[in-house]
Chains A and B, each alone.
Chain A
Amino acid sequence: MLQHFDPEKDYGTPAQVSENLVTLEIDGVSVTVPEGTSVLRAASEADINIPKLCASDNLEAFGSCRICAVEIEGRRGTPASCTTPAEAGMKVVTQNKRLGKLRRNIMELYISDHPLDCLTCPANGNCELQDVTGEVGLREVRYGFEGDNHLSAEKDHSNPYFSFDPSKCIVCSRCVRACGEVQGTFALTIDGRGFDSTVSPGQKQPFLDSECVSCGACVQACPTSTLMEKSVIDAGQPEHSVVTTCAYCGVGCQFKAEMKGSEVIRMVPYKDGQANHGHSCVKGRFAFGYATHDDRITKPMIRDSIDQPWQEVSWEEALSFASSKLKGIQEKYGRESIGGITSSRCTNEETYLVQKLIRAAFGNNNTDTCARVCHSPTGYGLKTTLGESAGTQTFDSVMYADAVMVIGANPTDAHPVFGSLLKKRLRQGAKLIVADPRRIDLVKSPHVETNHHLTLRPGSNVAFINAMAHVIITEGLEDTAFIAERCETEAYQAWRSFISEDRHSPENTASVTGIDATELRGAARIYANANNAAIYYGLGVTEHSQGSSMVMGIANLALATGNIGREGVGVNPLRGQNNVQGSCDMGSFPHELPGYQHVADDEVRARFEAVWGVSIDNEPGLRIPNMFDAALDGTYKGMYCQGEDIAQSDPNTNHVQAALRSLECLVVQDIFLNETAKFAHVFLPGASFLEKDGTFTNAERRINRVRKVMPPLAGMQDWEVTQALSNAMGYEMNYSHPSEIMDEIALLTPTFTGVNYDRLEEMGSIQWPCNNEAPDGTPTMHIDSFPIGKGHFAITEYVATEERSTRKYPLLLTTGRILSQYNVGAQTRRTENQAWHDEDVLELHPQDAEDRGLNDGDWVGIASRAGETVMRAKVSDRMQPGVVYTTFHHPGSGANVVTTDNSDWATNCPEYKVTAVQAVKVNEPSQWQQRYHEFNDKQLSFLKEGREKKAKARD
């Protein structure tokens, strides 16, 4: 986006949007602003900078400090400019003797109760109190420290990332308002009155024990050093900064990495970040320490067998070892006996290169990505119904929604910055429907009313969505004009008669879904009757045996009610990892070249072949689960795996580990010796997001730049490693910068033709499709038509999963995520985020716990037909009886030992969300866990041995 104003500057109060403009005079300068703009902001836009303390342009004006007082012709007194709206014809004076004196008096009072240790204060050089004191010219403080003051107030260091030093607090309430207005957690209040007022987390608790989620918005808002990052307290103020993109979730927040040399001191959410507008969560803002953790592996390593110690070698040696092994396997077992996995954590350019390596250098289409195990049904379902494998909106679009339905997603934990925006809209009065077996935080968040929480049974999604559509059609709530104009008639008629059948009614499906029919009818009416209704969904939709059907069912609902093609509506998949969208776009799937172009299409292949100079196989390759099966059958023998941890993240761990053990050559490229690397023969050290250039594409199809802020610890960025491996395999690549890779992507991908690094610099980010038809990108999709012409209603028959509760396994296990940890935890487990969640636990309903004699904290054994593991129990009334829940952030907890190899019918996305289990009280770890610990210890000793040997050789 073009910057019409300096994004770094704090204009004091939020920008207003209004057709009506007003012109006023400030210090003799004529200024025109949208109606509703404060005098403070109007002045600031004209570079007339009125001192301010309690105002900040991400918060509503509060008017407590009075330092921004001005004189307005014809008005009495000195009104606060932050709370006074600009009016046409106003004449404002911002500086004169009277105002100067008033401001000095105010500052004198503040300073008389403020420690005068500026020279040694961590905020020194970056303190608004200091700045304003300087601006008003305070020269003397008449009141001493003899009277009552707060100088000895006790500090709170409980939060691992920031400290709270109340002696420096000026009670401006910025932190309190940031926590409420921006983050939506309302953890802070001003406790007491007058002189006694202090900032208090929760019920006067330490921060760590309060409901604070450590987003850091209050720290950023604080104008003094009261709330301060510990990293700044330790290292001092940063000296330069680089704008880059968070490498955790699919929200894609932009940050200013504030640096001292090549050390990151702090991450400050970038105000002009188009997905986050200056907000962030605990992961992106604080959990970056893993990048320089001691566990980082920075030397290439090889070994002949996984029962041998590692051997540190040069890059050349590692790459030639890998390439000769892989080529040897192909000679022996055939061209299709090797393949690779791209990563949703790596950049678009890196992902593109890995699939290119596989298709061009390996000569087959055995490429897949971890999106297989999360959002592949989104790709299939949305392409079938709407014609494009992507969400339809921007995040900001939610601010125009009147009703929001959240299905199988937990935005406040997994997509926190979007969660905050959503909560803001809900506080403004948008209606909320949550469909989730578990009571997620959103259901009970402060000042938010959930109109319907539909606690459906795991595995009954399609029956539920069909019942919603049944109500809409049979009660005549559909948008007939939209359907007639925008959708295929024949498919609609077929779907209409299917969905109208009585068997889909809420009453007739209640026994399957467990949802009260009246509730469901109420929810359907809210969704259908809202002017703008939007659906947001997550892995609770996709990770089922009918994941693809459910995605299509959601799209059907949006089509039937005309909720597509404008702001405030849409079908919005919330993507788990940072670059899930990008890794799918970049041709990671075995049947599609970049831009979702099928490999069987001769015209498409010809274009790629002309640029790549090789012929491309016209048959799809193996998907991840097929690779594992083929490995166990002995036909798949070698694999290149970049930045993924399939041994921990994929279901049915026993099966996956057996498959990995059977490989003759596994090449893993990662920053840590992850679970998969413990089965590897070649380890190529990767680079963290701080060490590379490239782009990530977030859940709104927004391509954001990732910029290198420090040199790669192992000497190479990941794309350089892939390129070197390709060259070693005999297929030449010679890019000198990721921008050249993006140019090639743009050349071959019709939805990317307008994307290049110069445009990204200029616009900040671009939402694809970006081409001749949409030169500035496409914030909202399907405005006038669909890429397939008309919207397609797909018939979605409910087919029950084979996984159902039985006498032996009477409970249904579903899995999910938690705010402080990320995916397999390889990054977040190596940060202070451990303070919030240092082990995975099994949540279960009090009744189920009582039946089994389980109390909070007891060891509980969880067994399914796939395997067995042990965790601690957490009794929780979030759960419904019969349903238990856990996370998979810690490898030793073995959540995926229990999940099965059931998968989505269309895409093989695993059914993580439904596993029939039994839970019993136990007093020792499972056999799997004992074996895991033995194996893990052995592999870590192999690592240590290799390192020591090399160190000795060097001596």
Chain B
Amino acid sequence: MGNHQLASLIKMANQIAANNTHIGDDVAEAKMVADHLRKFWARSMKAQITEYLESDGSELSPIAKQAIVLL
């Protein structure tokens, strides 16, 4: 596992979260983000971001974190 993909994945997850934080209900927002990741991300990408959350996760936004837990 290298850094290129992980750096991109963190950026993407945060960006997806930022574009879905308008509902004012973080459970619903996290669910929308999780649905998006499930639908569009490859297996390896989901695995890698989950692993990152478990090992560190510091660069992920709060909604992105909550969403990844749901994967």
- Cross-chain contact B12 with A620 (CB below 8 angstroms): no
- Cross-chain contact B19 with A906 (CB below 8 angstroms): yes
Answer whether A795 and B23 are a contact pair too, CB < 8 Å, given A336-B43, A633-B3.
Answer: yes
Instruction: Find residues 890-906 in chain A having any chain B CB closer than 8 Å to their own CB.
Output: 901, 903, 905-906
The residue of chain A having its C-beta at the shortest distance from the C-beta of B16 within the complex is A905
The residue of chain B having its C-beta at the shortest distance from the C-beta of A634 within the complex is B2
- Cross-chain contact B44 with A905 (CB below 8 angstroms): no
- The segment out of A264-272, A288-296, A623-631, A687-695 that lies at the interface is A623-631
Give the CA-CA distance A629 to B41 in the complex, in Å: 14
Instruction: Find residues 9-45 in chain B having any chain A CB closer than 8 Å to their own CB.
Output: 12, 15-16, 18-19, 21-23, 36, 38-45
The residue of chain A having its C-beta at the shortest distance from the C-beta of B38 within the complex is A600
Closest CB in chain A relative to B55 CB, distance in Å: 16
Q: Write out the residue numbers on chain A whose beta carbons fall within 8 Å of the beta carbon of B44.
A: 336, 622, 630, 635
Closest CB in chain A relative to B63 CB, distance in Å: 13
Answer whether A905 and B12 are a contact pair too, CB < 8 Å, given A590-B42, A591-B39, A795-B22.
Answer: yes
Chain B CB within 8 A of A399 CB: no
Complex partner residue of B15 from A590, A632, A905, CB under 8 angstroms = A905
- Cross-chain contact A633 with B19 (CB below 8 angstroms): no
Answer whether A633 and B22 are a contact pair too, CB < 8 Å, given A591-B40, A905-B12, A905-B15.
Answer: no
Answer whether A621 and B19 are a contact pair too, CB < 8 Å, given A629-B8, A633-B2, A908-B12.
Answer: no
Chain B CB within 8 A of A799 CB: yes
- Cross-chain contact A633 with B4 (CB below 8 angstroms): yes
Chain B CB within 8 A of A317 CB: no
Answer whether A619 and B42 are a contact pair too, CB < 8 Å, given A632-B4, A633-B1, A634-B2.
Answer: yes
- Cross-chain contact B19 with A799 (CB below 8 angstroms): yes
Q: Write out the residue numbers on chain A whose beta carbons fall within 8 Å of the beta carbon of B12.
A: 903, 905, 908
Closest CB in chain B relative to A647 CB, distance in Å: 18
Closest CB in chain A relative to B71 CB, distance in Å: 12
Give the CA-CA distance A632 to B2 in the complex, in Å: 8
- Cross-chain contact A598 with B4 (CB below 8 angstroms): no
Prevailing SS type, chain B contact patch: helix
Give the CA-CA distance A366 to B19 in the complex, in Å: 26
The residue of chain B having its C-beta at the shortest distance from the C-beta of A633 within the complex is B2
Closest CB in chain B relative to A232 CB, distance in Å: 52
Instruction: Find residues 662-686 in chain A having any chain B CB closer than 8 Å to their own CB.
Output: none
Closest CB in chain B relative to A577 CB, distance in Å: 23
Chain B CB within 8 A of A827 CB: no
- Cross-chain contact B19 with A546 (CB below 8 angstroms): yes
Closest CB in chain B relative to A668 CB, distance in Å: 23
Chain B CB within 8 A of A498 CB: yes
Prevailing SS type, chain A contact patch: loop
The residue of chain A having its C-beta at the shortest distance from the C-beta of B22 within the complex is A797
Complex partner residue of B45 from A498, A626, A634, CB under 8 angstroms = A626
Q: Write out the residue numbers on chain B whose beta carbons fall within 8 Å of the beta carbon of A545.
A: 15
Closest CB in chain B relative to A904 CB, distance in Å: 9
Chain B CB within 8 A of A420 CB: no
Answer whether A598 and B39 are a contact pair too, CB < 8 Å, given A632-B4, A633-B3.
Answer: yes
The residue of chain A having its C-beta at the shortest distance from the C-beta of B19 within the complex is A905
Give the CA-CA distance A763 to B67 in the complex, in Å: 50
Answer whether A797 and B3 are a contact pair too, CB < 8 Å, given A336-B44, A626-B45, A906-B36.
Answer: no
Interface 1/0 per residue, A595-635 and B, CB below 8 Å? 00010100000000000000000011111011001101111
Closest CB in chain B relative to A911 CB, distance in Å: 11
Closest CB in chain A relative to B4 CB, distance in Å: 4
Complex partner residue of B19 from A549, A598, A629, A634, CB under 8 angstroms = A549
Instruction: Find residues 901-917 in chain A having any chain B CB closer than 8 Å to their own CB.
Output: 901, 903, 905-908
- Cross-chain contact B43 with A619 (CB below 8 angstroms): yes
Q: Write out the residue numbers on chain A whose beta carbons fall within 8 Å of the beta carbon of B39.
A: 591, 598, 600, 620
Interface 1/0 per residue, B41-63 and A, CB below 8 Å? 11111000000000000000000
Closest CB in chain B relative to A538 CB, distance in Å: 22
Give the CA-CA distance A621 to B44 in the complex, in Å: 9
Give the CA-CA distance A906 to B39 in the complex, in Å: 11
The residue of chain B having its C-beta at the shortest distance from the C-beta of A625 within the complex is B8
Closest CB in chain A relative to B29 CB, distance in Å: 11
Q: Write out the residue numbers on chain B whose beta carbons fall within 8 Å of the beta carbon of A635.
A: 1-2, 5, 44
- Cross-chain contact B42 with A799 (CB below 8 angstroms): no
Give the CA-CA distance A907 to B2 in the complex, in Å: 22
Give the CA-CA distance A591 to B39 in the complex, in Å: 7
Give the CA-CA distance A546 to B43 in the complex, in Å: 24
Q: Report which A residues bind B (CB closer than 8 A).
A: 336, 365-366, 498, 545-546, 549, 590-591, 598, 600, 619-623, 625-626, 629-630, 632-635, 795, 797, 799, 901, 903, 905-908
Sampled A-B contacts (22; CB under 8 Å): A549-B19, A591-B40, A619-B42, A620-B39, A620-B40, A622-B42, A626-B5, A626-B8, A626-B42, A629-B4, A629-B5, A633-B3, A633-B5, A634-B2, A635-B1, A635-B2, A635-B5, A797-B22, A799-B15, A901-B8, A905-B12, A905-B18
Given contacts A621-B42, A629-B4, A635-B2, 16 further A-B contacts (CB under 8 A): A549-B19, A590-B42, A591-B39, A591-B40, A622-B42, A632-B4, A632-B5, A633-B1, A634-B2, A635-B1, A795-B23, A903-B12, A905-B16, A906-B19, A906-B40, A907-B40
